[in-house]
Structure 1
Amino acid sequence: MSHQLTFADSEFSTKRRQTRKEIFLSRMEQILPWQNMTAVIEPFYPKAGNGRRPYPLETMLRIHCMQHWYNLSDGAMEDALYEIASMRLFARLSWIAPCRIAPPS
């Protein structure tokens, strides 16, 4: 998935004050070894060609971590991805394809 900001994402990123959630997610971005974690999971992650195309592994790992950190159900996480731009950016999702923003429940 492209890491290019959409107009909505770029407008959001010019806010002055960072929220506690943004600060926390930024810190998690820096301290967690995302590449190492995805390398461990990748051999077991579904591959394209066996049914519906899977979401990128790192995106799903980031969503899983946010679900755990904020104690969100699958449905609540999906709603949060639609409603909270900082979570969407952390998961590396954008409004380019809003119908594919979250995996089905």
Structure 2
Amino acid sequence: MQASGQLSFSDIEYAGKKKKTRRELFLTRRDALLPCPQMVALIAPTIHPASCEANSPGI
């Protein structure tokens, strides 16, 4: 906070930040270790072709 009592843009931005959830922390760390495109490329060969039907959920 500045001496004049007026909040700066960075003070306002910091005040609006919420604590990161455990899920957000996990996903951030996971993406730092193994980015999503690399992970999908690693897993894709193990997926059975029959599981890629329209009714089944994708990756």
TM-score, reference length from structure 1: 0.28
Computing the radius of gyration from Cα coordinates, the structure with the larger value is: 2
RCO (CA 8 Å, sep 6+): is it higher in 1 or 2?
1
TM-score, reference length from structure 2: 0.39
